[in-house]
Amino acid sequence: NAGVTQTPKFQVLKTGQSMTLQCAQDMNHEYMSWYRQDPGMGLRLIHYSVGAGITDQGEVPNGYNVSRSTTEDFPLRLLSAAPSQTSVYFCASSPGTGVYEQYFGPGTRLTVT
Amino acid sequence: EDKVVQSPLSLVVHEGDTVTLNCSYEVTNFRSLLWYKQEKKAPTFLFMLTSSGIEKKSGRLSSILDKKELSSILNITATQTGDSAIYLCAVVLSGGGADGLTFGKGTHLIIQP
């Protein structure tokens, strides 16, 4: 099993550009989520999904969209990048909402200039 | 507003020392508390604690939850340089994790040889 994979590992965007961060898991997990990590702020939840076709907002959803068309994939879209979105982004998954250990991907370091 | 506070935010000790990291929480509908270790990449799971108060151990690491004090401690004995990392505490609410984890800001632990 590859576990949770994320691409790209690094990305530099200019203000106003859009892009999609990819996340995939091969563990047949129902629950997937996106976090951002900023210095001194810990990890904050952006969006999450409890299964294919179901998504919901977390603590800091503004400026981001998600979709969950398959169990395996949970892409995060930045609609119009802003410098405030410079961060490290982690995708995580777990077998379901009744199981709480989340498995994290390796992260994507995004810089918006 | 749900809150998870970790202390200290940073700690520098010498190899062989014992350290105690703290995590306190003010949340509604507490379900469980998780500890993660984060080196230069994704957080990796250490322990899950519930209100049962049962201590969890793994090698030189141990952790316990005090449900009266709404807090948890993570102990590391005989520290090694490989223990240097950010230690994250996260709380799961009784929604079953459907709304993700609420993280503290982390304790940055540095072990000097």
Given a contact cutoff of 8 angstroms between Cβ atoms, the answer to whether B102 and B28 are in contact is: no
A3 pLDDT more than 60: yes
Please say if the pLDDT value at position A76 is more than 60: yes
pLDDT digits (tens, 9 = 90+) for B72-99: 999 999 999 999 999 999 998 765 445 6
Contacts of B41 in chain A (CB under 8 A): 106-107
Neighbours of A25 (CB within 10 A): 24
CB within 8 A of A96, min separation 6: which ones?
A29, A30, A31, A50
* Torsion-angle region of A51 (φ positive above 0: left; ψ -120 to 50: alpha; else: beta): left
pLDDT of B40 reads 81
CA nearest neighbour of A102 among B51, B42, B85: B42
Q: What are the backbone angles phi and psi of residue A84, rounded to the nearest 5°?
A: -65, -10
Phi, psi at residue B83, to the nearest 5°?
A: -80, -10
Whole-number percent of chain B with pLDDT over 70:
94
What is the Cα–Cα distance from B48 to B6, expressed in whole angstroms?
16
**Secondary structure (3-state) at A85:** helix
Segment A82-95, tens digit of pLDDT? 999 999 999 999 88
- The answer to whether the Cβ–Cβ distance between A104 and B90 falls below 8 Å is no
For A105, the closest of B42, B100, B105 (CB atoms) is B42
Q: Is the pLDDT of residue B19 over 90?
A: yes
C-alpha angle B26/B85/B37, rounded to 5°? 55
Please indicate whether, in this complex, the C-beta atoms of A45 and B45 are within 8 angstroms of each other.
no
